[in-house]
Structure 1
Amino acid sequence: MRGVPRSLRPRSLRTRLVLIATVLATAAVLVCQATGLTLMRSWLIGQVDDRLTDFRPPSPVYRDVANGTAPAHRPPPHEALPSDFRVYFYDAEGRLLPGSLGSGRGEPRLARTIGPGRPADGRPATVPSEDGDGDWRVVADSGPEGMRAVVALPLDSVQEATSGLLWFSLAVGAAAAAGVMLLGSVAVRLGLRPLTRVEHTARSITRGELEQNVTDTSPDTEVGRLGIAFNTMLDQLRAALHRKDRTERRLRRFMADAGHELRTPLTSLQGFAELLLHDPRMSPSRRREAHELIAQNADRMSRLVDSLFLLAKLGDAPTAEHGPVDLLSLAADSIAASAVRHPGRGITIAPLGPGGSGGPGELDVVEGSGDPHQLAQVLSNLLDNACAHTPPGTRVQVRVGSARTGSGAGGTDRPGRTSANPPLPPGAPAHVVEVVDDGPGLTPQDAHQVFDRFYRAPPASGTPRDSGSGLGLAIASTIAEAHGGRLELDTGPGKGCTFRLLLPAGTP
């Protein structure tokens, strides 16, 4: 609404709709009434014109008027003149003669002289009244000996009828405007009730009631489609808020765990450094021992920081390279590297048998897809975990093959199986690498926490206390999920541990 002051602009949609409906309805009524008024006035004037053109003064009247024998304002004795007619005569030279026929209130304002042929005969015209009150309809007619007569009829009845109709039209327009405004306000209020409910729902959500939804969701109406879009937006907003809450909780827990893990080596570094500074007369053996402890804690803190950096990097760019990977060769290389780190450990490799079991058979090339460096990190972490948490002499075996996901081969959830990754579709082809040991296994409580960051299971009897950071399995699980796969654990007390890495077969 340009040009309208801001204070006068309607702010409510309901008010705007009512005003628009009122203006349109009133305009339609007034246009119809104006059209009817115009047609009626034209028809009434047409009736007057027909009466004028049908009337002709008799020829003897011209002669009597010319001779001055016809009484003014009186009809001739041989013919009665209608009371509302007025007849004026002009002589052959165009001068208005003093005598006229007919009587009544007022008379038309006529010219004192007229030219030949003007006005044209038989063409009605409208002229004002002499006293300025009303109009007259006149028509000219030729008579004998060059004389002319002008017949006039007053338009009082036409003007009264049109004036009455005009006031009636204005009254109807005002009544229509009031009715439309009253009934339209009720109709618009009822029609916008679903939109009002959407407004109330939105206000409730702003007050913190995030679980509310819009109930009007009919796809056949505009408000219903708005409700569907609004509910979809609310679902996405709630999901985003839940993800944000989970992320914040995980971040707070991660920061607390990281601070706790870093505090121990930092405290040791600070203590041994202060010991060296404040005891310059320390014996060489104790000084060397302090230096070794400082180096060990610095190495531990360095490995912890590297693991944290790797986790952050995996979250930003999980798969830096994606190409074909020979899982059999990758497993063999990981076994060789683990033998160097854990001498005396007998780690074997075997094909993957039915249901994920190992057995006699030939090892075949299993070519998957992914980042070879990250997958090697997964196998290295799994082998280090098996060697660190099982007594010396415990059998450790790596199995490589292909299978279809299920309760036996893995990839789906079942009792006794835990994973931090979502399950894969049942029956989907997958490449599998298993790291199996015959150790003491884990309790259900420990198994459910084994993939958590900074979690370290209690050491088994006959095994040294774990000095790791508790991030190895979390890193391996993150890498598996980044490849679209899954890292899971089948275990139980006294049943050993089977860590299973599944990668979707045919992933580009």
Structure 2
Amino acid sequence: MGSSASVAGAGGSVTGAGGDRAATGGGAEAAGADAVSSGGSGAVPGAVSSSASGAEAGVGVGSGSGAVGRARRRWTLRTRLVVSAVALIAVVAAVISTVTAIALHSYLQGQLDHRLVDGIGRAVGPWPHDPMRDSGLEFVAMPGQPPGTVGARIAPDGRLDSGARLNRLKSRVPSERLTSLTADQLAALAAVPRDGEAHSADLPGLGSYRVRYAKDGVLVLGMPQNEVDDTVGRLVLIECCVTLAGLVAAGIAGSAMVEIALRPLRRVAATATRVSELPLHQGEVALHVRVPATEADARTEVGQVGAALNRMLGHVGSALSARQESETRVRRFVADASHELRTPLASIRGYAELTRRGTERPGPQTRHALGRIESEAERMTGLVEDLLLLARLDSGRPLSYATVDLSPLVVDAVSDARAAGPGHRWRLELPDADAPALVHGDADRLHQVLVNLLANARTHTPQGTTVTARVRAVRRARGGGPGAVPGGGTGDVVLLEVQDDGPGIPAALLPHVFERFARGDASRSRAAGSGGSTGLGLAIVEAVVAAHGGTVAVASGPGRTVFTVTLPVAGRR
């Protein structure tokens, strides 16, 4: 921050720590201007702020809200399509695998049942002599019986006297070919229904068997199901592996296919995004963006969306053209009317002054009427000039850009304000001489920004109010950290601040202070003789600052109101 400075009239100087600065503004000596101590002003509790862009302040959201937002996040269309297709394939594969496994199990079990029938048929028919015939269980070791076959003879009273299990098909030792069944195993065989049909039974220590009684009721034969179960189990495992590999392949292929299918929709979305980024709210807008014809074929679903978007853009473009034409006519009318009114108003003021200075001295009532005519003509002239300037700014008329040092402009503007409002206390805060506040802009228009801000403070605050004009170059930081200024972003900027300790601006009026014909007479009292207000001063400030690529914001609370103009430094615009 630069050092304190006093305001002087013609021939005076503004002295700071960095050296002397010539005060180019004329006028009477600004006696009584107070020195300013360096250092920024503290924030006022309860102050309300508003920016020229009209953007509302965001509300901080805690991590809990972020977690809720992430939990509620929906899957993308691509993800839903791929997941749905893979899930459908998985269901179909599961059904096919289940049916196949059941069919194979039924087929193999049927084959096993046929072997049981054949084995029982061989047991009750003639067969060659075998050393084990005397045991009564020779049928268990008959040729063609698989290893693990079990059998038992049925006593006349229906009990199972003895049973055996075939260990090997051939052995030199006959006793090694059969193993006797335990009582529990015989009990499990006895529990099988004796209806001449094959049934499944679990034999303790042996596993699952298919068991069948001979129709004559003299023997029972069982064969193991482990081969059937193992075969079906291997099939299920193979099906699971193949299905899993197929699902992975289907997911990859489906994702690629959906990506290709959604590309036209993405291009349609990109077109809508480009349109949404256009500044449609103001200025001349040429809405030529359209969805390509290849994505607007009504014979496809995506094409229907593209065609509908093109129709909507056509309607919006027509509405914008009509709005632009209407605004152009209004601006032309305002500019023409303002230009045409300048000459009659000048004539009214001239005739009033000529009458007042005539040879015949007018009476008190006449003098009062002439004074009113002159003051109203002057006010109307100011209104016409403001309207004409706004019309030119709205039409985008180029400004006269050059490198401008804001310090001399502030000195001149404060000197003029001191002359117009001697009842106020005026202060200056300027940067050091080795760090000038240089911007790229139109000096006349920037001077008008300063004049309007100071006039606003003078007009809407009572006498005795302290008004401070401050200029400083800062590095703008992102977010709310050190060096942060209104407008956000990063880079070197120049801040121009006009601060007063008046009554402040009501919160209800604050969002509208930069609107045209907005007045704050009800809240910020006028000093007597301060003159009228056109209600266009702050609107002009906003328009001029925007034309320079800057922003303007206001923060106000009881006892403190600050208007802050942020402009890019020269060379960064």
The TM tier, using the shorter chain, reads: 0.3 to 0.5
- Which protein has the larger Cα radius of gyration, Structure 1 or Structure 2? 1
